[in-house]
Amino acid sequence: MVARHSQNPIITISDIKPSRPDFEILGVFNAGTATYKGKRILLVRVAEKPVQSDPQKVPVPIFNPIRKKTEILFLDQNDSSYNFSDPRVIHCKQGQNYLTSISHIRYAESEDGIHFRVADEPLIAAFDEYTAFGVEDARITQMGDDYYVNFSAASEYGIVTRLLRTKDFASFQDLGNIFHPDNKDVTIFPEKINGLYYALHRPSTSEYGAPNLWIADSPDLVHWGNNRVAATVRPNQWDNGRIGASCVPFLTEKGWLEIYHGATKENRYCLGAMLLKADEPWKVLARSERPVLEPEMPYELNGFFGNVVFSCGLLANGRQLDIYYGASDDSVCLASVPVQEIWDLLGV
């Protein structure tokens, strides 16, 4: 059985100091994870928005890459060309869509994996024209002393995946936009397979395709090709609307285990499991019919965007997986599951 931690949620917005006094925290969620210097670390996503003083003026925070600061655009609440019904995105019929909030990545560390000290300042925040709407959903892949941190970057140019490399979570080397828009939910495999790096990725298409899970390979982690579909949405199941990688895949005796996310068309997000062939990771050997984790607890059902469990990372703890996950785009939670339970779900 999946065991949610009794102290869930383990990080909430009350633990987070806004990055500036005129902002308020909307959520802390979707954390990538790794072990570093013997500690468990999380790179948590913090979503903020400007405190709204005039109910007629909806503030939209956007980083200005020329002035190198986040500025606030005000939209008229009564302007009928905007649709304010989605708490996450402001849709505009004939023009630019905007996010209601701007996200950044913050560093947190813990000795026990449960009690985390979250830094007061952002670690990775909007810094250029591709990140102007924010930096979201970091994943961490460790290879030797190097930690590769990839995240979704949103801007007026769409959603791209950016890759950074660090040894100390203090200084970062920029490896560029590794996937063009729209692409998010990228997880990089932690070792080469037959001489190539691999990543799962999730393009969004505008005309024909559904949001499916793709795989690409790379000689150097910077340049990616051989784009192929690894898994598709499944009609009439819990993952009929969209799927994407969640946790960084890890090698087991049966193949690569990927904890992925799937959502219905009504945006109910669950976590599932997928087993990929060890030496041909584009081949799915098994996929869970039922979710590994689905929104059931009050903090998973209600929040900034309810009915969501979404993970960006797990850590293996012996034969148990500690899955850190975002609940309702609002808080960080922990659930543990024996690997054997996953094998049972997968029927392998």
Q: Does 194 bind a second copy (CB under 8 A)?
A: no
Per the DSSP assignment, residues forming a β-bridge with 61 are: 72
Please report where in the chains the tokens 């250029």 appear, as a residue.
128
State which of residues 16, 31, 160, 334 lies at the interface with a second copy (CB under 8 A): 160
Return the half-sphere exposure (C-beta side, CA atoms, 13 A cut-off) of residue 155.
20
Q: Does 87 bind a second copy (CB under 8 A)?
A: no
Residue 255 belongs to what H/E stretch? strand 255-263
Count of chain residues binding a second copy (CB under 8 A): 45
Nearer to a second copy, 174 or 344 (CB): 174
Q: Does 226 bind a second copy (CB under 8 A)?
A: yes
Interatomic CA distance for residues 71 and 63, integer angstroms: 6
Q: Does 63 bind a second copy (CB under 8 A)?
A: no
- CB under 8 Å to 345, separation ≥6 — which residues? 273, 288, 289, 290, 292
By rule CB under 8 A, what string of x and - marks binding of each residue 161-190 to a second copy? --------------xxxxxxxxx-------
| Interface of this chain with a second copy, residues 275 to 294, rule: CB under 8 A | none
Q: Within 10 Å of residue 90's Cβ, how many Cβ atoms?
A: 18
Interatomic CA distance for residues 171 and 294, integer angstroms: 36
Q: Does 227 bind a second copy (CB under 8 A)?
A: yes
Interatomic CA distance for residues 25 and 115, integer angstroms: 20
Interatomic CA distance for residues 206 and 14, integer angstroms: 38
Interatomic CA distance for residues 59 and 185, integer angstroms: 27
Nearer to a second copy, 156 or 344 (CB): 156
Per the DSSP assignment, residues forming a β-bridge with 174 are: 164
Interatomic CA distance for residues 347 and 118, integer angstroms: 39
| Minimum separation from the CB atom of position 255 to a second copy (A) | 23
Nearer to a second copy, 155 or 166 (CB): 155
State which of residues 3, 73, 222, 316 lies at the interface with a second copy (CB under 8 A): 222
State which of residues 23, 29, 116, 214 lies at the interface with a second copy (CB under 8 A): 214
| Minimum separation from the CB atom of position 126 to a second copy (A) | 14
Binding residues vs a second copy (CB under 8 A): 89, 96-97, 129, 133, 154-160, 175-183, 201, 203-209, 212, 214, 216-220, 222-229, 232
